[in-house]
């Protein structure tokens, strides 16, 4: 049991107002909001802590993911801009197989993953996903395409929606709305079908889904409702049955990357933090050229879709010692996730030193900047109309921009040409009454010119300017992270995710670090998370210590003390005065928690004759919480024990509440000690 947990729970123990030891909560109670008591208005059957107020159990040997054994682990990296799957057989954990090549693809862009795009028919049935969806939509006649529902880059909706629920909706390219849960379920069902077909082809017979452990990756900075949403979508897609939740693991993207990066050997990575030459080039002399050469090296090795993960630890591992720290910066399409891990030898388990941080600073921010530039030149009213009236042409334009975006580099001198679809030129003439060329001349945007070949000519500085806001956000966040007292003496910084390929981002990170740590970029950087997610599915216990993203507790009644508790919190039951709405903390935000660690607390009914024991579970982003009525505290689960017809000889009925932490998701249960009757909580972060 980590000392941090013991110290916090020592303070929690003082919350038991059945005793007189309350000094730790004086300040909390004094500052509490004087709001009407939910217990008064709802008539909750109250519980009060027994003395002692808690028992703790260190269950580090247990694994939340134990259960049926699986033949294969399939990981789905559900990205903002691109997605894919990979798998490994449990008997051959060193062989990670990536998905089959996708039909379609863009020149100069790896197609080992497929775009996160989905197409529904006019009657809202699933039609296609990825390149197939994009190509079919592109080939539709404009009069037809406006009736089809095409969605892309929709994953960010789960991060940006304040009150995410099962009923949250997405907007298709034609403006029509569709339930987000249906879209995510369709996408996951697509990957399930693809993976099962490939596994069945390999086995020579139909492969049974019950033999698969599924892993879905999500950003570490996602809040609990978004993580639960992905699980609900997986249930709806039929990936796993709801009654076998352990068949699905929700993996955190930077953790998955971290697990894979530890396995890297020198020939599998680029080190841009040193002057050493690797793979025949010196990365620090020319970052852009280095990445180009590295990509060619990787392409030449792509005949096989199987990655061999070394059974012996790689050369990089030999440089790591007990207690060494490293940062993983996962730069994806939608978000940038930062995690800080510490190595625990000899097994190589990982301890999270600082809770995951980051924000919506992914590469789609550059797309938004390009859209803002187009609005400046052609007017936001035209761009809005063009997206609705010519949605397929808008997709074409953004594909053209994507390929040029990838050509941006610090040392580039020649302009970048972006093809404008004919329908853009034609529709603008009809909309405004004058030409695109005229608009460019009048816009005063002097770094974007018109080419007689029907293209926008952007000088390199103009393209680099589109990157600047997004990269500035990332660098500021990294700077803030390295200023934290927990984040010192960082040996390596692993730059992963699709956006990590950008030479502009690499140079900015290098300039920010000033040699404080080595910057490592794995080859096939866009597949790092996918490969790591497979390794995580094979051994979920590799992450031994995490930081709790939230404060969790239950609502209790405590003996009311005059002058200490707010008067409007007083509740009288059978002549006894109680203070209601007290938040009894199980674990605090940012506290270290060991994998499988269970916090166990004992309560008793405030009224001995109660036939139903109700325990509400609450959470908050704040570290210290006094009352469940404080701002930001929300109910996330309920444990309801029916004790009708059961007798106990004990003076007080003991109800034990267990919460298990340290996993990517939490579990809660309550036990009636007298009868051993047990109930589990349905922790629901999506309830409104």
Confidence of residue 327 (pLDDT cuts 50, 70, 90): very high
Q: Mean of the per-residue pLDDT values for the chain? A: 80
Dihedral over Cα of 461, 464, 469, 471: its sign: negative
Tokens 């981002």 belong to residue: 505
pLDDT at 661: 77
Sequence ranges of the chain with CATH classification 3.30.420.40 = 72-258
* Tokens 């594909």 belong to residue: 399
| Reported pTM | 0.80
| Range 72-258 classified under CATH 3.30.420.40 | yes
pLDDT by residue (tens digit) across 482-519? 998 878 888 889 999 989 999 999 999 999 998 888 89
CA atoms in the 13 A half-sphere facing the CB of 336 = 25
pLDDT (tens digit per residue) in 127-186: 999 999 998 998 888 788 889 999 999 998 988 888 899 999 999 988 899 999 999 999
Nearest CA to 342 out of 328, 358, 330, 332 is that of 328
pLDDT, tens digit (0-9, with 9 covering 90-100), for 381-427: 999 999 888 888 888 899 889 888 988 999 889 999 998 999 899 99
Which residues, 6 or more positions from 211, have their beta carbon under 8 angstroms from its beta carbon? 70, 71, 72
Q: How confident is the model at residue 557 (pLDDT cuts 50, 70, 90)?
A: confident
First to last CA, the chain: 35
Of the candidates 644, 640, 647, the one whose C-alpha atom is nearest the C-alpha of residue 670 is 640
- The CATH 2.60.34.10 domain(s) of the chain lie at 550-682
3-state secondary structure of 177: strand
What is the CATH superfamily name and number for domain 550-682?
Substrate Binding Domain Of DNAk; Chain A, domain 1 (2.60.34.10)
């Amino acid at each position: 049991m980590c000392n941090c947990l013991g110290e916090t729970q020592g303070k929690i123990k003082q919350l038991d107002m059945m005793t007189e030891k309350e000094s730790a909560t004086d300040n909390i109670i004094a500052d509490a909001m004087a709001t009407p008591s939910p217990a008064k208005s709802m008539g909750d059957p109250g519980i009060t802590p027994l003395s002692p107020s808690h028992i703790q159990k260190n269950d580090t040997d247990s694994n939340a993911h134990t259960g049926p054994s699986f033949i294969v682990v399939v990981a789905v990296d559900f990205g903002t801009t691109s997605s894919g799957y990979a798998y490994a057989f449990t008997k051959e954990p060193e062989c990670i197989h990536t998905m089959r090549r996708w039909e379609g693809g863009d020149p100069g862009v790896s197609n080992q993953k497929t775009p996160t795009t989905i197409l529904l028919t006019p009657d809202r049935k699933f039609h296609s996903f990825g390149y197939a969806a994009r190509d079919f939509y592109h080939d539709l006649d404009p009069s037809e395409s406006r009736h089809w529902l095409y969605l892309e880059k929709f994953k960010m909706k789960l991060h940006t929606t304040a009150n995410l629920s099962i009923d949250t909706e997405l907007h298709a390219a034609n403006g029509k709305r569709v339930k987000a849960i249906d879209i995510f379920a369709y996408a996951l069902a697509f990957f399930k079908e693809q993976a099962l077909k490939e596994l069945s082809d390999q086995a020579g017979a139909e492969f049974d889904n019950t033999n698969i452990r599924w892993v879905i990756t999500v950003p570490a900075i996602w809040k609990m409702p978004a993580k639960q949403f992905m699980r609900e979508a997986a249930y709806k897609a039929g990936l796993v049955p709801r009654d076998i939740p352990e068949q699905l693991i929700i993996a955190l993207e930077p953790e998955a990357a971290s697990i894979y990066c530890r396995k890297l050997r020198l020939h599998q990575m680029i080190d841009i933090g040193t002057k050493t030459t690797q793979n025949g080039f010196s990365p620090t002399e020319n970052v852009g050229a280095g990445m180009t050469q590295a990509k060619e090296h990787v392409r030449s090795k792509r005949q096989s879709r199987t990655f061999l993960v070394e059974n012996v630890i790689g050369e990089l591992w030999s440089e790591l010692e007990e207690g060494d720290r490293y940062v993983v910066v996962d730069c994806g399409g939608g978000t940038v996730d930062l995690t800080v891990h510490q190595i625990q030898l000899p097994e190589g388990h990982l301890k999270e030193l600082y809770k995951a941080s980051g924000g919506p600073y992914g590469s789609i921010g550059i797309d938004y900047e390009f859209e803002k530039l187009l609005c400046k030149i052609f007017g936001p009213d035209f761009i809005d109309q063009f997206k609705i009236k010519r949605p397929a042409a808008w997709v074409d334009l953004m594909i053209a921009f994507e390929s040029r975006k990838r050509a941006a580099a610090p040392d580039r001198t020649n302009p970048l040409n972006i093809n404008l679809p004919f329908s853009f030129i034609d529709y603008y003439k009809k909309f405004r009454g004058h030409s695109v060329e005229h608009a460019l001349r009048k816009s005063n945007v002097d770094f974007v010119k018109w080419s007689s070949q029907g293209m926008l000519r952007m000088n390199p500085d103009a393209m680099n300017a589109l990157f600047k806001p997004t990269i500035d956000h990332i660098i500021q966040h990294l700077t803030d992270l390295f200023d934290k007292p927990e984040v010192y003496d960082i040996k390596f910084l692993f730059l992963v995710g699709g956006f990590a390929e950008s030479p502009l981002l690499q140079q900015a990170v290098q300039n920010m670090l000033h040699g404080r740590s080595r910057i490592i970029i794995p080859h096939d950087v866009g597949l790092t998370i996918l490969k790591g997610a497979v390794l995580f599915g094979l051994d979920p216990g590799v992450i031994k210590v995490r930081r709790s993203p939230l404060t969790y507790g239950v609502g209790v009644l405590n003996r009311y003390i005059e002058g200490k508790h707010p008067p409007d919190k007083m509740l009288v039951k059978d002549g006894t005065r109680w203070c209601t709405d007290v938040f009894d903390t199980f674990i605090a935000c940012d506290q270290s928690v060991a994998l499988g660690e269970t916090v166990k607390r004992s309560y008793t009914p405030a009224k001995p004759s109660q036939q139903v024991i109700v325990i509400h579970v609450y959470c908050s982003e704040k570290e210290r919480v006094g009352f469940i009525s404080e701002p930001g505290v929300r109910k996330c689960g309920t444990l309801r024990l029916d004790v009708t017809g059961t007798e106990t000889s004990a003076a007080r009925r003991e109800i034990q509440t267990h919460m298990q932490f340290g996993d990517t998701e939490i579990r809660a249960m309550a036990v009636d000690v007298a009868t051993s009757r047990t109930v589990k909580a349905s922790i629901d972060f999506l309830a409104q």
